[in-house]
Amino acid sequence: MTAAPVRVLIASALESEHVRRIAAVDPRIEVLHAPELLPAPRYAADHHGTPRNLTRDQREQWRSMLAAAQVSFDFDWSDAAQMPANCPELRWVQGTSSGIGEFLQLTGLGRSEVTFTTAAGIHAVPLAEFALTGLLYFVKDVPALTRWQAARRWERYTTRQLAGMRVLVIGLGHVGRKVADVLSAAGVEVWGVGRDGRADRGSLACATGISSLDDVLPSVDGVVLCCPQTPETEGLLSGPRIRLLPKGAIVVNISRGQVIDEPALIAALADGHLGGACLDVATVEPLPEDSPLWAMPSVLISPHSASTVASENAAITDLFCDNLQRWLGGEQLLNVYSRDKGY
């Protein structure tokens, strides 16, 4: 007796070799993939893209694929909020982002019975590399070097050393732990603040809970924000907490813009209290053209792209294939989104 097929929808741009890998996981898998219906990627590993002008027949084809899908690689680009209605067979969605909590809340999908898994861990290495880049950018005063180069100025100077500095990592999930590993390998004394003050310190010199945040901020040379955005972390690095940091401290945000009080951050940069801010995220994205952050020499801005590398799709496909095997075998999936925690 032939086992019933498991129909897997590819809902965002994915290279053909990765689609073939998904299909090869198990003979029961029937892949639903029509790349001509998906938004056109603007760069490697773009899971949003530019929507195409579909004909009436093509839109009907997409609706038919949605209706048949039991598992989906990513969310419906055309109307994610209506996936429970448009995908009556849907049981599980594999996200391509680590932080999907806010998206699930905005779309109402978090109230559905569908299981969601995240890409947690996939972006840990590139984000850790970016955090190291941000700290070195200001420790080595790259803004001054850039100005001097433009002015053809050759003058010996003294720099600081990152090794031996103390940096606080806020958020001890996949990304925070990798940031701690990378910074520790560079000679940084890494302190960590987690939701529960985890006992497993790993490469951390000190680990504590969020309730101790105010106590540790005055003792660090920099902060790297890696925590998910939840009601508990919104505004976590508030104006008063920014002022608890020593003068000249560096802030790196690879979390979400809402985790920092952005006007307070701007004020602390403007008056010189902070030595620099490296921001992959902003409260409003894209960052508005009139934001003071654009023109600040003490700010390094990345357009929410620090996690995106050319090999991302291969890594996400590895995770998805592993989860597909688990799904078919009735085993616990990796990175299941917790509605209680919000991540």
Structure tokens at 152: 């053809």
C-beta of residue 63 within 8 angstroms of C-beta of residue 9: no
Terminal alpha carbon distance of the chain: 40
C-beta of residue 250 within 8 angstroms of C-beta of residue 135: yes
Question: Tell me, what amino acid is at 263?
Answer: P
The candidate with the shortest Cα–Cα distance to 342, out of 237, 233, 252, is 233
Burial class (CB in 10 A: 0-12, 13-18, 19+), 24: exposed
What crossing angle do the helices spanning 174-185 and 124-139 adopt, rounded to 10°? 50
Instruction: Give the strand order in the sheet containing 92-94.
Output: 29-32, 6-10, 71-73, 92-94, 115-117
How far apart are the C-alpha atoms of 290 and 292, rounded to whole Å?
6
The one catalytic residue in 304, 312, 326, 331 is 304
Let me know if 262 is a catalytic residue. no
Indicate the helix (H) or strand (E) that contains 78.
none
C-beta of residue 262 within 8 angstroms of C-beta of residue 282: yes
The one catalytic residue in 177, 256, 262, 312 is 256
Let me know if 285 is a catalytic residue. yes
Question: 96: how many CB neighbours lie within 10 A of its CB?
Answer: 23
Phi and psi, residue 10, nearest 5° = -95, 110
Let me know if 174 is a catalytic residue. no
Q: Where are the beta strands (DSSP E) in 78-197?
A: 92-94, 115-117, 166-170, 189-194
The one catalytic residue in 60, 89, 232, 285 is 285
> Catalytic site residues?
256, 285, 304
